[in-house]
Every structure is written in structure tokens, then in C-alpha cells.
Amino acid sequence: MSIMNSSSLLGIFLLDKPLHLSSNQALQRVKRIFRAKKAGHTGTLDPLATGMLPVCFGAATKFSQYLLNEDKSYLVKARLGETTTTGDLEGDVVLRRDVPVYSEADIGRVIDLYRGEIQQVPPMYSALKHNGKPLYEYARAGIEIERPARTVTIHQLDLLAFTAESNEFVLRVKCSKGTYIRSLLHDIGESLGCGAVVTELRRTQVGDFLEQDMVALDHLSELKENDPDTLQQFILPLGSAFKHLPSLVLDSDRLQRLRCGQSVFIDSAAVDLTVARDESGMFHGLVGVQSNGLISVCKLLLA
């Protein structure tokens, strides 16, 4: 069956989000192209950011919370000497400072301070909620809300380039969930004593998903017009999001009992999160195993 005639898509599409579109605008375009009844994205990207935006179709949306928990990788370009309201070029400049004559080694020494676990204050221009309202709504009204610092982990932070003439540098970042790259660059700029603003940001990886598997929106639109049947090839199976997890093979009887809310025990070591597969290897969901062998359901697909 052509995917364009399908009423029940199931899987994940890796969109290469273009510049200047919000994540929701990009989602709605993808949803229309695939004629999907149910779709959601995982991990919002700012309008000035490009790159990987996983789109979940159908029942895959129920697993989106687990994708949100995955590590993410970025390429970010920043410029020293400016501070803006948003931390990127979308905001107004609030401070300009002279930039000392720095070498690449000088930049590298400061960057070294931001690897591993760090404390980070989320930006006001973010979707975090305060009293049920996103912080960016307060920011647009000129209201500053106190935000407690949070612990995030910077797994990788590499200086790829530094141009002294333009005071610009490029970083590769791999970080834990909840990390704000704009805040990271703001803090690096403050440590350098002159401020920094993000000029380009691209997400290259989410969990097990790699950059080469992304599809540009323009290419997707072109295929819809000229060769819609080929769109099917870009829908990744839901299980591909959890290749890093161990697997537990369950027979059809145990799977059915779990779906009915019945207790199921198995001779297995305790594990917090594992993929439940049937005997053919098909993905059925995520479960845990307690120390007494009781299987606890995290999320299962319906039969």
C-alpha cells in the first residue's frame, strides 16, 4: 500500500529542519506531506537552528519521552563581544564589549572548564514553564523569572575552529538532555570576559540516530510531487530508536498477559529499561525487570 494512502503510519522520520521554521511549523509540513493522522516531534529546535528533528508517527508518539531523554550532538558557531536577550541572533543586543586578543589555546583553556557535569541556568527565552506559562512569554513582557541552576552533562566539547579576525569560533558538542546550547555559549563568553552569541546552530545526532539519515524538507516535498511511493523508505522502525538498549525476547502468551495488565515473571537479571521483542525479533515496547523477575511495563504497542 502506498504510504500516501495509509491511515495508520507507525515509525520515526528524521527531518533536517530548515532555518527560520519553528519546530511545530516544520512538524505540520511533514504531517501534511505524509497525510499522517497523528504525529509529534521530539526535542524542540529554535527557528534559527537547523538539523535533526525526529518526527514520530502514530503510536510512536507514545515513546517520544524516551527520545527526549537521549543525548544530543550539535555543531555551533559563536561570535565573541556581544550579548543578546536570547543568546542568539534572534534577540536584541543588550551589551557589546571589546574582545581581548585571544589565541586558539586561550579559547581552548576556557572550553576545558565546561566538560563533564556543569551547573546551567536555563535561558528566559525557553519553553520551560513557570506557573503554567512558558518562560519566553514572561521574557517578551520584560519580566525576569528566577530560574534555579540545573545539572547537565557535557560529554564532548571540541574547538573545531577559531578566527581571531572575526572573533568567531566553532564547537562540536555532545550533551545530556536538558542542555541549552545558547546558555552554554553565554557562559563560555562570560568566562572569556567579553560575552558570546550563537550565530549558527545545527543538531547532528539524537541518541542512535545519525546525521546521514536526515531528510531535507525541500527534498521531501519534491518526492511528494514526483514520486510519492518512495516516501515509505524514510520511515524508520520504532525499534531503531532503542538499539543501544538490551533486548528481552518474550513469547506471545507473555506479551498478551502484559498487555492485559497481568503479572509476568521471567528468569532474568534485573534491568531498568529493556526492549521487549517477540520470537521473530519484532519490537513490542519497553519494559523493566525487577530483582524478583517481575516484568514491569514502561510502554507497549497494542497488538
- Three cell numbers written together for 91: 534577540
The answer to whether 50 touches 23, Cβ cutoff 8 Å, is no
- Three cell numbers written together for 301: 504497542
Known catalytic residue at 229: no
What residues are paired with 12 via a beta bridge? 56, 236
Q: Which of 16, 46, 88, 187 is catalytic?
A: 46
Secondary structure E strands in the chain = 11-17, 39-41, 49-57, 72-80, 82-84, 93-96, 116-120, 129-130, 133-134, 150-163, 168-175, 196-206, 215-216, 247-249, 271-277, 283-289, 295-300
Q: Is 297 exposed, middle or buried (0-12, 13-18, 19+ CB in 10 A)?
A: middle
The answer to whether 14 touches 52, Cβ cutoff 8 Å, is yes
Residues 6+ apart with CB under 8 A from 209: 12, 14, 52, 54, 236, 240, 241
User: What size, in residues, is the chain?
Assistant: 303
Using the 8-state DSSP alphabet, how is residue 147 labeled?
-
The answer to whether 50 touches 16, Cβ cutoff 8 Å, is yes
SS3 65: helix
Residues with active-site annotation: 46
